[in-house]
Structure 1
Amino acid sequence: MQAGGGRKAYDDINITPMLDLAYVLLVIFILMATASVQGIKVDLPKASSAKSLVQPKTIALTVNDQGQIFMDAFPVTLPDLETRLRNAKASNPDVPIVLKGDTTTQYGKIMEVLDLCRRLDLSKVGLVTGKPTGS
């Protein structure tokens, strides 16, 4: 028998639990870093029910609270937007468009964008709203 009741001294440190923790933290960091959505942040108005219109090749138009217009997160002027929408319609006549307007945006600016879509005969235009706060 060994002295000390048969106990063996540990000379090695088991780092497996520490590596498991490091891997979990690395995975969480990667997921959180890639989960951010690119685009322009606007405060969307709420709707009682909303059907998602986001499809592949959808053009996202945004009007922020200062009245600036963005097409797929890039700032554009109204004449530039008209040119880009004409090009998009030439490649796909039924191109779907979603319009996001901040709740504090002047209604006239959103109407200018909607009127432009109507003049270009773009009929698949949807307005984006936020989720209802409670029912």
Structure 2
Amino acid sequence: MNVNTDNKPYDSINVTPMLDLAYVLLVVFILMTTASVQGLTMNLPKPSNKPSTEQHEVKVVQVTPEGALMINGIGVSLGELESQLAAAKARDPKISVMIKGDPRTQYAKVIQVVDLVNKLAIEGVGLVTARIGT
């Protein structure tokens, strides 16, 4: 049975399903590109070509895989870390803090340390990284 009784060829194509798909893809694209990602604001030190002759105190804060904190190899709580860093900053305003997070630790613990350092207004902040495989 032939439904088309006119025996004329179709002279138009129904593009409604294609437009629906295009609109859905456009909406998905807009949502994905405008989704804002929360980030950290850190004031990183600027590199200098001049050799530095100044010696400043350096504290290494390590976050273990279990989430414990260590400062220069000695285990501390978050409150003790804050008091030690505040005391060190009082002794040397240009103190440097290196934050070393274990790859297996919870990211939130490292963020707590970064927030603490920002709260104490310590400008010399560094994140210790390791090469893959070491």
Task: Compute the TM-score of the two structures, normalised by the length of structure 2.
Answer: 0.56
Q: Is the 8 A contact 2:63 2:101 kept in 1?
A: yes
1:131 Cα deviation after fit: 2.5
Secondary structure at the counterpart of residue 94 of structure 1 = coil
Which residue identity lines up with residue 83 of structure 1 in the other structure? S
Alignment correspondent of 1:32: none
Alignment correspondent of 2:108: 108
Stretches of 4+ moved more than 6 A in 1?
Answer: none
The number of equivalent residue pairs is: 80
For structure 2, which runs of at least 5 residues remain unmatched after alignment?
1-46, 48-54
Q: Distance in 1 between matches of 2:92 and 2:132?
A: 33
What is the correspondence of 1:33-72 to structure 2 with a 5 Å cutoff?
Answer: 57-72=57-72
Task: Compute the TM-score of the two structures, normalised by the length of structure 1.
Answer: 0.56
Alignment correspondent of 1:76: 76
Q: How large is the RMSD of aligned CA atoms in angstroms?
A: 1.8
Alignment correspondent of 2:120: 120
Alignment correspondent of 2:86: 86
Q: Distance in 1 between matches of 2:128 and 2:69?
A: 15
Structure of higher RCO (CA pairs closer than 8 Å, 6+ residues apart) = 1
Q: Distance in 1 between matches of 2:56 and 2:85?
A: 16
1:132 Cα deviation after fit: 4.9
